Chains A and B, each alone.
Chain A
Amino acid sequence: MRRSRALAAVGLVAVVGVIGLAFALDPSDADTASTPVPVAEVPATTVATPELPDRGPHPDLIDIDGWLQSDVTSLEELEGKVVAVQFWTFGCRNCTATLPHMQELYEQYATQGFEIVGVHAPEFSHEAEVTNIEEAAAELGVTWPIALDPTKRTFHSWQEGPTAHWPRIYLLDRDGHIRYDHIGEGRYAETDAAVQALLAEAG
């Protein structure tokens, strides 16, 4: 009995150690929110350009309840540009972790025909308040157009299957066709490479 408890104690220390190690090895310090990889410093040779199959024209934006920080009111007005459509909500940690990288992309490529549209799809009721979204956007450094999707109809209609996810980014080519998408944080260098490739296609 005593031996069994001693073994359990050793096991407990090991499990706590593994949990501690997982937190200690958190790659987000180097890869995401606090210190994103500057786009300009991503060597072109480090990440191969991902495959960019043509998945056809993007779906419509449905029941958009207004735009913030934008003169445009539809994706059609952005045809001719490479557009990143990102589904996000300011209360989602993983969404906000991607924003510094989105800011880097925006600063780097906006003058080359690149645009970002953040489709804000709230998870909870307080995230649907426009004033809260405006405050969060200012605080988080979101300077690109935001389409408000309070009913989440666009959020669900763009994503296949019954469950949709935050964050999710789609890249549209200059013809408005979906060429790349990624769920969750990360893959920043791959996204950069995809943007560069799409800009180069018709550039």
Chain B
Amino acid sequence: MFAAFAEAIRTTTQPCTLLLLLPALVMAIITRGRWAAFAAMCTGAVLGGWLFIANVVALDGWRLQLSGALVVAVIGLVLVARSVSPLNWAATPGVQAAFASLVTFAATLWWRPCIGTELGVILTGARAGALGELPGITAYMLGSMMPVLAVVLLMRVIDPSPVAARRAAWLAGVVGLAAAVAVTIGRHDELVATLTRWTMS
């Protein structure tokens, strides 16, 4: 289990997992109630990861674009809700935790995992029954969420002023929105290819 957890951590610097992480990192910065959001994101990531290894649903085409649109809508709503009072309901920690879970689940469709030894064993084993690989994929997805946990803790340590927090939220939100728009308009592969070239060069 630790081997799967550790392997996932090692993939977080690679483009295959960066795209899964990006929306989660954005949500970790822009949401209130970050601990609840982090727990919700872990749940979303595990569910999405399990769906991936179960290999019963195609995770490309219109589903991929729909996931991009969903991330655009949620990040946009969370950002706007910070300053528009009729949307205050969307700024409550409970709602934002639900949003965070939804965004991370959607982002698992963006994931093009690097299949190392441990994930390979999980995927190979999942052919005989994906339920049996739930502990393994849970450890793996939790490992991939470690940078998000680091950001949650960092935000707590820094404890930015309201103005700085708002600026950070908008900056992160714009980056997340840009990636999500690219996925929505069908540019996911180009996004991964670009990240791959950057990291391999």
Interface, chain A (partner B; CB < 8 A): 4-5, 8-9, 11-12, 15-16, 18-19, 21-23, 25-28, 31-32, 91-94, 123-126, 160-163, 165-167, 181-187
A187 and B117 in contact (CB under 8 A), knowing A8-B153, A19-B9?
yes
B56 touches A161 (CB 8 A): yes
Residues of chain A within 8 A of B156, CB atoms compared: 4-5, 8
B1-15 at interface with A (beta carbon < 8 Å): 3, 5-7, 9-10, 14
Interface string of B153-170 (1 = CB under 8 A from A): 110110100000000000
With a cutoff of 8 Å between Cβ atoms, the chain B residues found around residue A21 in the complex are 6
Bound form: Cα–Cα A25–B2 in Å: 11
- Say whether B196 contacts A91, CB under 8 Å: yes
Q: Which residue of B lies closest to A159 (CB)?
A: B55
What separation, in Å, do the CA atoms of A12 and B147 have in the docked complex?
Answer: 10
Q: How large is the interface on B (under 10, 10 to 19, 20 to 34, 35 or more residues)?
A: 35 or more
CA distance A161 to B147 in the complex (A): 31
Asked if B189 and A124 sit within 8 Å, CB to CB, the answer is: yes
Contact A162 B56 (CB under 8 A): yes
* B residues less than 8 Å from A93 (CB atoms): 14, 114, 200
Q: Which residue of A lies closest to B14 (CB)?
A: A93
CA distance A91 to B98 in the complex (A): 36
A124 CB to nearest B CB, Å: 4
Contact: B193 with A12, CB < 8 Å?
Answer: no
Task: Given A22-B6, A162-B56, A163-B59, verify A185-B154 contact (CB < 8 Å).
Answer: no
Closest chain-B Cβ to A78's Cβ sits at a distance in Å of: 24
- B residues contacting A by CB (< 8 A) are 3, 5-7, 9-10, 14, 52, 55-59, 112, 114-121, 123-124, 127, 143, 146-147, 149-150, 153-154, 156-157, 159, 189, 192-193, 196, 200
Contact A162 B153 (CB under 8 A): no
CB of A108, distance to nearest CB on chain B (Å): 21
Contacts of A32 in B (CB 8 A): 117
- Which residues on the A side are within 8 Å of B116 (C-beta)? 28, 94, 184-186
A23 proximity list for chain B (CB < 8 A) = 9-10
User: What residue of chain A has the Cβ atom nearest to residue B196's Cβ?
Assistant: A91
A95: nearest chain-B partner, CB-CB: B115
Q: How would you classify the secondary structure of chain B's contact residues: helix, strand, loop or mixed?
A: helix
Closest beta carbon of chain A to B111's beta carbon, Å? 11
Least CB distance from A99 to B in Å reads 15
B123–A165 contact, CB under 8 A?
A: yes
Chain B residues whose C-beta falls within 8 Å of the C-beta of A25 in the assembled complex? 6
> CB-nearest residue of chain B relative to A23?
B10
From A181, which residue of chain B is reached at the shortest CB distance?
B124
Q: With A166-B115, A187-B117, A187-B121 as known contacts, state yes or no: A124 contacts B196, CB within 8 Å.
A: yes
B153 pairs with A12, CB closer than 8 A: yes
Could you tell me the distance between the alpha carbons of A25 and B8 in the complex, rounded to whole angstroms? 12
Q: Which residues of B contact A160 (CB under 8 A)?
A: 55, 127
Q: In the complex the two chains form, is B159's CB within 8 Å of A5's CB?
A: yes
User: Is there contact, CB below 8 Å, between B153 and A187?
Assistant: no
The smallest beta-carbon distance between A44 and chain B, in angstroms, is 22
A8 CB to nearest chain B CB (Å)? 4
Task: Evaluate contact between B115 and A183: CB separation under 8 angstroms.
Answer: yes
Q: Which of B55, B58, B120, B143 has the most CB of A within 10 A?
A: B120
B119 adjacent to A184 (CB under 8 Å): yes
The interface residues of chain B lying within 8 Å CB-to-CB of A94 are 114-116, 120
Q: Can you show 21 pairs from A to B with CB atoms below 8 A apart?
A: A8-B153, A8-B156, A12-B154, A12-B157, A16-B150, A22-B5, A22-B6, A23-B9, A28-B116, A31-B117, A91-B196, A93-B14, A94-B120, A124-B192, A125-B193, A163-B52, A183-B124, A184-B119, A185-B115, A185-B116, A185-B120
